[in-house]
Amino acid sequence: MNEPLRVGVVGAAGRMGTLARERISAADDLELVAEIGSTDELRQALRDTATEVALDVTAAGLGAAHGLEMLEAGVRPVIGTSGVTLEENEALDAAAREVRLGGLVVPNFSLGIWLLLRAAEEAARHFPRFEVVEMHHLAKLDAPSGTAIQTAERLAAVHGRDPADVPIHSIRLPGLLSNQEVMLGGDGEVLRLRHETYGLSCFGPGILAALRYARAAEGVGRGIEHAFEAAGD
Ligand SMILES: NC(=O)c1ccc[n+]([C@@H]2O[C@H](COP(=O)([O-])OP(=O)(O)OC[C@H]3O[C@@H](n4cnc5c(N)ncnc54)[C@H](OP(=O)(O)O)[C@@H]3O)[C@@H](O)[C@H]2O)c1
């Protein structure tokens, strides 16, 4: 058996960071070697701990820059932080290939969102008019969500359209955690595909699958499907 994969968590004290630390600590094939926060120097902390794969779950907009710093430190990035654009993802991919490393950008770690995207892509072939509604808790700072942007990108690609032309509606209310609906309109009918979450635990299996996938990844792809498909799910 391989030595346990040496994993660092960036944003370790946050909600996602806490979940990730718990799940990594409970996995026999992973070892939590670095718990990094906003007052640490990222590259130094990664080098000091000989981290092999690092998970970034910090603040929206920081993911791409952190991914580049990880690669500079010889570490494979898994970026769960919201807001990594397609262009930034491509830049990460190119930088990783230059140093023969890999990783993954994951706008959403949940199994249900992956399946929603697959179903919505199929539905969009038949219903060319669609809109995305995302609903989140008040503490979510970014709007629209990274998942909604990824959904718009994937559905627009079905028809070769610009993702900016897919309307996204963002709702922030107390009581909500994280839900997303894709509505597709046809002649006298509407199809609603809806994903609901009831706890952060829905992200746990995806986080572990992404870390394991990153160990041998070539380049930096986008989407949890890479990890679930590699794991045979
Ligand atoms: N991909 C997914 O499936 C998924 C799911 C849920 C959430 N998210 C995203 O994940 C991110 C984190 O969400 P959360 O709910 O865990 O947020 P959170 O509870 O606010 O935690 C964020 C953590 O990141 C730390 N941080 C901020 N800037 C940092 C920096 N420059 N370097 C290191 N650490 C830094 C914060 O520390 P300080 O308090 O010291 O600033 C805090 O501990 C958000 O972008 C969110 O949208 C993604």
Please confirm, yes or no, whether 137 is among the known catalytic residues.
no
* pLDDT value of residue 1: 64
For ligand 1, the distance from its centroid to the CA atom of residue 106, given in whole angstroms, is: 14
* pLDDT value of residue 219: 98
Q: Place 164 in a pLDDT band, splitting at 50, 70 and 90.
A: very high
The average pLDDT across 56-67 equals 97
Q: Are strands 5-10 and 53-56 parallel, antiparallel or unpaired?
A: parallel
Please confirm, yes or no, whether 140 is among the known catalytic residues.
yes
Indicate which residue's Cα is closest to atom 2 of ligand 1: 108
Does residue 14 line the site of ligand 1, with CB under 6 A? yes
pLDDT in tens, 18-49: 999 999 999 999 999 999 999 999 999 999 99
Does residue 20 line the site of ligand 1, with CB under 6 A? no
Q: Cα separation of 217 and 222, whole Å? A: 12
Q: Give residues with Cβ within 8 angstroms of 99, minimum separation 6.
A: 71, 74
The minimum-distance atom of ligand 1 relative to the CA of 146 is: 47
Please give the CATH topology (third level) of the domain spanning 5-109+201-230. Rossmann fold (3.40.50)
Q: Which of 4, 42, 15 is nearest to 137 (CA)?
A: 15
HEC-encoded secondary structure of the chain: CCCCEEEEEECCCCHHHHHHHHHHHCCCCEEEEEEECCCCCHHHHHHHCCCCEEEECCCCCCHHHHHHHHHHCCCEEEECCCCCCHHHHHHHHHHHHHCCCEEEECCCCCHHHHHHHHHHHHHHHHCCEEEEEEEECCCCCCCCCHHHHHHHHHHHHHCCCCHHHCCEEEEECCCCCEEEEEEEECCCCEEEEEEEECCHHHHHHHHHHHHHHHCCCCEEEECCHHHHHHCCC
With respect to CATH, is domain 111-200 assigned 3.30.360.10?
Answer: yes
Q: Which of 39, 43, 83, 37 is nearest to 64 (CA)?
A: 83
* pLDDT value of residue 38: 97
Each domain of the chain, given as residue ranges in start order, spans 5-109+201-230, 111-200
